[in-house]
Amino acid sequence: MIDLSHSIRTGMTVYPGDPGVRCVQSLSLDADGAEVMAVSLGSHSGTHIDAPSHSVEGGRSIDEVALDELVGDALVLHLEDRVGPGTRIDAAMLEAELEQFVAVPRIVLIHTGWDRHFDTDLAFDHPFLDRDAAQALWHRGMRVLGVDTLSPDRTAAEVAGGGAGLGLGKEAAPGVFPVHDVVLGGDGLIVENLRGLEQLGALARVGFFPLPLTGDGAPVRAVAWRPGSDLMR
Amino acid sequence: MIDLSHSIRTGMTVYPGDPGVRCVQSLSLDADGAEVMAVSLGSHSGTHIDAPSHSVEGGRSIDEVALDELVGDALVLHLEDRVGPGTRIDAAMLEAELEQFVAVPRIVLIHTGWDRHFDTDLAFDHPFLDRDAAQALWHRGMRVLGVDTLSPDRTAAEVAGGGAGLGLGKEAAPGVFPVHDVVLGGDGLIVENLRGLEQLGALARVGFFPLPLTGDGAPVRAVAWRPGSDLMR
């Protein structure tokens, strides 16, 4: 199997304003007979899933998402050679990839290669989709959108530079997160901060297994099965 | 798919001495434009996996465990009608179940039904395996042992009554955790606090997907595939 998840580590990059990540030893072999860590993180730390309630009033929470929605064949759009810092992935760029498809699988992953910039400043200046690109996918049947960036929407410089305490309120006027609006607003799901998508072909069997939280989202273990692997073994 | 995981909730039962679990709202739709929770938990909270380094000096940590070790066909031993509070599951009780098997699958799950007592005092007075029972399974090829109790070992009353701050040191003399010694000492893995095993037959395809921590263990999303489900869809 292929791991598509970032490790959860103290001080890892999080979306601006989100709770930080901290993993510290709580019990030790010498003093307590067993090692145990205390872990603090946000519901959107590392590789994670956004439930509709993350940004939609009255939307579904992660515990209302069935596991069957999160496992299946995915279309992987490999755009890594066509994007750079801040590239807007528009409908035209996607249509070139999609013209052979009247419909797409329920799960679509956008490979930008931006996971290699995770934990650097460049992580915030990531490629992003515009509303029309999100709608082009949605209208072909996509219901789960996965990206290897902090967000499928642009992460505004004012937000990225602000850090904790700035508050996202002023950035969150309608239309500022158009991809979230299209996908979560349609009761779909978004997976952010995937890694290692270069290991996948154009079609891949994937699974996103959330920490069983109750609320707006959850860190996931994101995996893919190697092509031709016997899933029954 | 079938969910075999307890929800992660504020104040949920944890093993005596472990860090408590807390999930609180960190960002809100009204003030911040998005909901995000702050989550504090231990590496052994809820349904979780023990890596060898949990109790073995120099043992493997969870990030050194391959996903392939955690997904596969499991033998499920349904003992729920034969156990009560504090029942010792000995080799003789297991041998009756195992006599038809020269070998068992790599993953063996023990169904005691004790998950229905999770979050009650009875959770601590759970059925447990003795060393011979663990060795009977180990010698037949088991490498991953899953239980629906707090531990496959007895949770001593002194420990259970002590709560945080007692320290497990005095309980952790060699032999006090004999099942951990057999399984983790052999570089195997233990999954604790499973739930819903009554939904499985004698053989089930299961997967344990850990939060991608680095260290002694991690909460997992534990799942089973329904018999006859097309795993490729």
Query: Shortest CB distance from A38 goes to which of B7, B19, B232?
Result: B19
- What residue has token string 């909901």? B35
Could you tell me which residue, B86 or B174, shows the higher pLDDT? B86
pLDDT digits (tens, 9 = 90+) for B138-147: 999 999 999 9
- Looking at residue A101, its pLDDT comes to 83
Could B27 and A168 be called an inter-chain contact, meaning their C-beta atoms sit closer than 8 Å? yes
CB contact under 8 A, A232 and B231: yes
User: B131: Cβ–Cβ under 8 A, 6 or more apart, which residues?
Assistant: B178, B179, B181, B182
pTM (2 d.p.): 0.93
What does the pLDDT read at residue A156? Answer: 77
Chain A residue numbers with beta carbons less than 8 Å from the beta carbon of B41 are 38-39
Q: Do A34 and B40 touch (CB under 8 A)?
A: no
Average pLDDT, chain A: 91
* Contacts A195 to B, Cβ<8 Å: none
Beta-carbon contacts of A139 under 8 Å, excluding residues fewer than 6 positions away, are: none
Q: For position B167, what pLDDT does the model report?
A: 41
Residue (of B134, B128, B172) closest to B154 by Cα position: B128
**Given B32, B171, B219, which is nearest A33 (Cβ)?**
B171
Question: Would you kindly state where each structural domain of chain A is located, as residue ranges?
Answer: 2-225
Q: Answer whether B54 sits within 8 Å of A37, measured CB to CB.
A: no
Which structure tokens are listed for B83?
Answer: 């156990």
Biggest alpha carbon–alpha carbon distance for chain B: 62
Q: What pLDDT sits at residue A205?
A: 96
> Which of the residue ranges A44-53, A60-69, B119-128, B224-233 would you say has the lowest mean pLDDT?
B224-233
**Per-residue CA distances from A134 to A19, A130, A155, A188, A199 (Å):** 28, 6, 16, 11, 24
Give dist(CA A19, CA B74) in Å, integer: 38
Nearest to B39 among A31, A68, A213 (CB): A213
Q: How far apart are CA A127 and CA A124, in angstroms?
A: 9
Reported as a single tens digit per residue, the pLDDT across A79-91 is: 999 999 999 999 9
Question: Amino acid identity of B146?
Answer: G
CATH no. of A2-225: 3.50.30.50
Residue of A209, A229, A230 to mutate, interface with B, max B Cβ within 10 Å: A209
Q: What average pLDDT score do residues B163-173 get?
A: 42
Q: Is residue B128 pLDDT above 50, yes or no? A: yes
- Mean pLDDT estimate for chain B: 91
Q: At what angle do helices B178-185 and B131-139 cross, to 10 degrees?
A: 20
**The two structure tokens encoding residue A32:** 């307590």
d(CA B147, CA B158): 22
The minimum CA-CA distance between A217 and chain B, rounded to whole Å, is 8
Asked if the model's pLDDT at residue B160 lies above 80, the reply is no
| Least confident range of A160-164, B81-85, B103-107, B150-154 | A160-164
Name the residue of chain B whose CA is nearest to A19's CA: B38
Mean pLDDT calculated for residue range B81-99: 94
More confident residue, A5 or B168: A5
pLDDT tens, B9-63?
999 999 999 999 999 999 999 999 999 999 999 999 999 999 999 999 999 999 9
More confident call, A169 vs B103: B103
CB B73 to CB A232 under 8 A? yes
Q: Could you report the per-residue pLDDT of A138-182, keeping only the tens digit for each?
A: 999 999 999 999 999 999 765 544 443 334 444 444 458 999 999
Structure tokens at A21: 């990540």
Instruction: Give the per-residue pLDDT at B76.
Output: 97
Q: Which residue of B has its CA nearest to A48?
A: B211
Confidence of residue A231 (pLDDT cuts 50, 70, 90): low
HSE of B124, CA atoms in CB hemisphere, 13 A: 16
